[in-house]
Amino acid sequence: LLLNHKIEMKNINQTFQYLLTIFPRFVGILSSWAIFLMIVLTTIVVFFRYFLSIGVVGLQEMVIYLHGIAFLLCSAYAYENDEHVRVDIFYRRSSIKNKKLINLIGNLIFLQPMVWTIFILSLDYVLFSWSIYEISPEPGGLPFVYLYKTSILIFSLILILQSLASIFSYFDND
């Protein structure tokens, strides 16, 4: 009976981890296409500027927006796949158990407070942008700055979810 209970709890934990990572994984994979679009748009901007002597502000802004989107919205996906930057003075030589403990402490003390702070402090900033349907101040700029600013909130939410999944993985007995 105890073994069945343990197996059931493990399945619940793994299911919960999976559910927490569905949205961050989807957003990360989708937003990774921003890098490809940046390359294409940068090529077009260079062609227009240097071969046709035409400046296209909207496309230049789009490259900047795509860069921000790629950075922000791929963060949880990079974290899930352990591709993020880590200061691993002690980490790389630690046992798997100690690595899990370091990750748990890092999530609880650093990551969760940071992303919640970013979310809370940026909420009014993003809501104000939406309330005025903020546009670019540049002539010929993009008319949807408010959508771009929303990526800050999405960034926070997907990192919160991914961090929670990582916290739950601490309790796996693998």
pLDDT value at position 86? 67
CB 142 within 8 A of CB 135: yes
User: What average pLDDT score do residues 78-104 get?
Assistant: 77
pTM for the model stands at: 0.80
pLDDT value at position 14? 75
User: 25: which 2 tokens?
Assistant: 């994984």
Tokens 């309790």 belong to 171
pLDDT value at position 47? 94
How far apart (Å, rounded) are the C-alpha atoms in residues 89 and 74?
Answer: 25
One-letter amino acid identity for 57? V
Task: Give burial (CB, 10 Å; 0-12/13-18/19+) of 59.
Answer: middle
pLDDT value at position 40? 95
10 — pLDDT class (breaks 50, 70, 90): low
